[in-house]
Structure 1
Amino acid sequence: MSPEDRAVGVAVAGVMAGAVGLAIFNPLTGGTASAETPAQAAAQHRESAVSERSGTEHAPRKAARSASRTVAASTVIKLAKSQLGEGESRNGSTKYADWYASTPHAAVTARRDGGSVGDYRGAEWCDMFVSWLSAQTGVKNMGWDAYTVQHASWFEKTHRWGDIARPGAVVFFDWQNGSRGGIDGIDHVGLVVKDNGNGTITTIEGNTDNAVKEKIRDKSEVVGYGYPDYAKSR
């Protein structure tokens, strides 16, 4: 989610002053943030009989049931590649934003950051795309958010943050300051496909020219990487 989007209320600039503290608090459980995916949290939300509901689909039941299983990075990358070319509708929304707005998390993050649940449908959606990948696959500790600064802060505070471009890592960018910048300046997020070994990485990103696209990015643009718990390759 870009600074421009924060300005319209979905993630207001005032949040940045408390970003680190908020990033490790999970309003769904009333404590510090667990490493749950959207599917896990949605299942917990239903089981707690919380009555926030919507008419569109939530994270699939299959993902909720299998959220504890170990998922390979290649599984998430494969799903991301299957979305290449997906873009915005005429009203500026996407299936990823529609999905996010339908989950209990939208109400939680809207209360945290300002704005309303409906704002997500026209908002910058790069992080909602990453959250959708997490929910669909049930990968552990990929986290969920619509605000890149909060998501990156969560990775850092849960000790899943670093500077190595591993396949399947969640990569965070700062277009102005690049690797010299900090988490509070992050503008954009995507998924690492591979390290090209020449100072660049191949990524798949939502909300790139209003679509899901594969890109070659210079590592100098990267603030850091978040690491989900993937199955160890054999």
Structure 2
Amino acid sequence: MKDIVDVAIGEIGYREQGNNRTKYGEYTGANGAAWCHSFVSWCAHEAGVSISVVPKTASTTYGMQWFKKRGQFKYKGKYTPKRCDIVYFKTGRSHVGIVESVSGGQLHTIEGNTSDKVARRSYSLNNATITGYGTPKYTSTQNGSSGSGKKDSKKELQYLQKILSRHEAKAETIKADEAETGKIPAGNVMITVNNGKKKFTVPAEEGAKVVWERDSTPGKFTFTAKVEKGFSIGMGNEVLVTVDSKKFFYGFVFTKEGKKDGMASYIVYDQLRYLKNKETIVYKKKTAGELIKILAKRFNLQYGTLADTGWRRSAIEDNTTLFDIIQNALDDTLITKGKTYVLYDKVGKLQLTDVAKMKVNTCLVDAETGQDYSYKTTIDSDVYNQIKLVYENKKKGTFDLYVTKDSKNIGKWGTLQYLDKIDNPDIGKLKSKALLKLYDKKKRTLTISGVIGNINVRGGSLVPVMLDLGDITVANYMLVDKVTHTFKNCEYTMDLVVSGGDFSE
């Protein structure tokens, strides 16, 4: 696996786009500011290092203090730096870099924002501008360590075994007596607006839409209405949408666009829109649900049922969107517990739910209930049929190779190789096997349009799909990555983007 130095080496020569504009500053939310620490934080992120190990920040002062508070800062002269340490300088202004190596009394670094680019630099270990070093507590796979790493190796082996067991398990096939979509919905939409003390119903034109996605995107309701004297819709007004007399969507007006013909179009977002706000937070041993409660109270958001994920996390999040703060906790939960959770707004209340509990059995998607589909297959991205892992055996002075391949697919597609370094031979064979399981398959995207509407379907739902796609027949529950509910000409339909299920050969 790549460590922070490997990532930094790959960035050498990168230049800012003028006025400190870089992808590193975009990552930390400080684009336009000095970006030396943004570069360090970005490299750590790309190397798979948690922000609880290397902070996500654009501030060198904050970064240095962060390590000091954890007892992970060593002053110059009292410590010999190592590869992957973080070196802090004090020149005319604060500066920071990544330690690549130390040899012959010389410190070799890779730094961002040095002459407006990423470059290598060298200093005497006694250089007057060096203040000291942050010494992150990396795992053996994050710092290129060649030590035994038995504890970390054991954890990685367990994780890889979980990956294999999940991918070897068969997808849940739809039962023959699966309940089909019942009564076709009328799709009668009612829009109620609350403008201060005034509450009124808006007669919407045809074509109103609700869009929900699974990952870090607010729910969105768009509609067009005639501007009438009897009502006035302003920014921030509350909007409640009911479909066939059932509450369906609740949000707030963010955009209004008037037109010459007297019509106006509106964009309404649910509470997840406020998760685009940035915040700095330090928390200890909190589940994702507990973290959401803390953030909801800070920003006056309403919440309902938040699942207990069973995994507690501690972290420092600096100048980070609420979406990313929560997603970081959910990502750690997925790695540790093997469960995927979805955060969404259910008619005005934030909900956190295990995907496994979001089945919608009354929405069978097949050739009759869906009007059309788009099915794309590719091997052009993230597809590998040969895995080669390399271990540097320093005792023997050799490089040990762990290769797993699919000769059948190599014959059909040519060799598509994944190459990486490992720091422990114990995981070589199993890891190469696990990676082949993950990557040795075509990538497929399935978009289904004109499906009979169902108000229970949202991003993160599991819906039963039965379709013959030509080279594959799907008959499984599939995960809804995106759904667009459309109300037009007295018809209520959905467009779905789905993934998962038995969607591979």
Range of TM-score over shorter length: 0.5 to 0.7
> CA 1:156 to 1:90, structure 2 compared with 1: closer, same or farther past 3 Å?
closer
Give 5+ residue unaligned stretches, structure 1. 1-70, 102-119, 177-185
Find out whether 1:213 has 2:119 as its counterpart.
yes
Say which of 57, 62, 86 aligns to 1:170: 86
Measured in 1, the distance between the counterparts of 2:14 and 2:121 equals 15
Partner of 2:113, secondary structure, is strand
Measured in 2, the distance between the counterparts of 1:190 and 1:92 equals 17
Return the offset for 1:164.
2.5
User: 2:60–2:94: 8 Å Cα contact kept in structure 1?
Assistant: yes
Measured in 2, the distance between the counterparts of 1:157 and 1:197 equals 31
1:58-207 correspondence runs (5 A)? 75-101=3-29, 120-140=30-50, 141-162=53-74, 163-175=79-91, 187-198=94-105, 200-207=106-113
Q: TM-score, normalised by structure 2?
A: 0.26
User: 1:143–1:151: 8 Å Cα contact kept in structure 2?
Assistant: yes
Return the structure number with greater helix share. Answer: 1
Measured in 1, the distance between the counterparts of 2:12 and 2:31 equals 20
Partner of 1:97, secondary structure, is helix
Measured in 2, the distance between the counterparts of 1:197 and 1:145 equals 32
**Code of the aligned partner of 1:212:** V
Measured in 2, the distance between the counterparts of 1:92 and 1:144 equals 18
Return the offset for 1:92.
3.5
Partner of 1:121, secondary structure, is coil
**Code of the aligned partner of 1:191:** I
Say which of 146, 154, 172 aligns to 1:233: 146
> CA 1:147 to 1:91, structure 2 compared with 1: closer, same or farther past 3 Å?
closer
Return the offset for 1:197.
2.4
**Code of the aligned partner of 1:203:** T
User: 1:142–1:227: 8 Å Cα contact kept in structure 2?
Assistant: no
User: 2:20–2:34: 8 Å Cα contact kept in structure 1?
Assistant: no
Partner of 1:212, secondary structure, is strand
Measured in 2, the distance between the counterparts of 1:149 and 1:124 equals 12
Measured in 1, the distance between the counterparts of 2:134 and 2:46 equals 18
Return the offset for 1:144.
2.0
User: C-alpha offsets along residues 124-160 of structure 1, whole Å, 9 cap, x if unaligned?
Assistant: 1000001101211222412221110111011011011
Return the structure number with greater strand share. Answer: 2
**Code of the aligned partner of 1:233:** S
**Code of the aligned partner of 2:101:** K
Partner of 2:3, secondary structure, is helix
Return the offset for 1:165.
1.2
User: 1:126–1:190: 8 Å Cα contact kept in structure 2?
Assistant: yes
User: 1:139–1:228: 8 Å Cα contact kept in structure 2?
Assistant: no
**Code of the aligned partner of 1:148:** T
User: 1:139–1:229: 8 Å Cα contact kept in structure 2?
Assistant: no
Report how many residues are paired. Answer: 134
Measured in 2, the distance between the counterparts of 1:90 and 1:193 equals 27
Partner of 1:84, secondary structure, is coil
Q: TM-score, normalised by structure 1?
A: 0.53
**Code of the aligned partner of 1:196:** S
Measured in 2, the distance between the counterparts of 1:91 and 1:128 equals 15
Larger Rg: 2
Measured in 1, the distance between the counterparts of 2:56 and 2:18 equals 26
Measured in 2, the distance between the counterparts of 1:92 and 1:143 equals 20
Partner of 2:31, secondary structure, is helix
Return the offset for 1:91.
4.7
2:130 is matched with 222
Q: CA RMSD in A?
A: 1.8
**Code of the aligned partner of 1:131:** S
User: 2:86–2:96: 8 Å Cα contact kept in structure 1?
Assistant: yes
User: 2:20–2:35: 8 Å Cα contact kept in structure 1?
Assistant: no
